[in-house]
Amino acid sequence: MKALKPVLFSVVMVFLVVLVVQNLEVFLDKKTLELNLMVWQYKTGHIPLAVYFLGFFLVGLLVSYFHSLGERFRTKRTIESHSETVRKLQHELNAYKSQSVASQTHNSEDSPSA
């Protein structure tokens, strides 16, 4: 899988470069963005469509990042809880092992050797 990721990333990047180069005229076409709220109006200057694409892409990245932030914190808390449980169980297992070794040593000393 580690070798597949760079190859897949390279294929996607080549595809995007080809897409942009073949449609350069569309990406460089300048458009205005208008917002009419009946009480307030706003109109941007002429901005290339590539800037709009990039802006909306970044807004989408931010929205998805903040949307998944809560889940990441919950997952981190769960992992910490599970790690603590594993630590306690490991400690308990080590105690049982040492108790078992001690009882075996005690039993071998009590039994006569032939």
Do 40 and 1 lie in one domain? The reply is yes
CA atoms lying within 13 Å on the CB side of residue 75: 5
pLDDT of residue 83: 96
List, in order, residues 6 or more apart from 32 with CB less than 8 Å away: 43, 44, 45, 46, 47
pLDDT at residue 111 in the model: 61
State the pLDDT at residue 113: 56
Same domain, 49 and 86: no
- The answer to whether position 63 is within a domain reads no
Range of the domain at 102: 73-106
What is the pLDDT, as a whole number, of residue 1? 76
5 with 37, same domain: the answer is yes
pLDDT at 74: 93
Residue 85 lies in a domain: yes
Residues 49, 1 share a domain: yes
**Has residue 4 been placed in a domain?**
yes
Q: What share of the chain is helix, strand, coil (3-state, %, to 5)?
A: 75, 10, 15
Question: What is the predicted pLDDT for the residue at 93?
Answer: 92
Going residue by residue through the chain, which has 114 residues, state the pLDDT in tens, using 9 for 90 and above.
788 999 999 999 999 999 989 999 988 999 998 988 989 999 989 999 999 999 999 999 999 999 999 899 999 999 999 999 999 999 999 998 888 877 777 776 666 555
AA letter at 93:
L
Same domain, yes or no: 10 and 49: yes
Verify that 36 and 78 share a domain, yes or no. no
Count of domains forming the chain: 2
Cα dihedral value 39, 45, 48, 52, nearest 10:
-30
**Are 18 and 33 in contact, with CB atoms under 8 Å apart?**
no
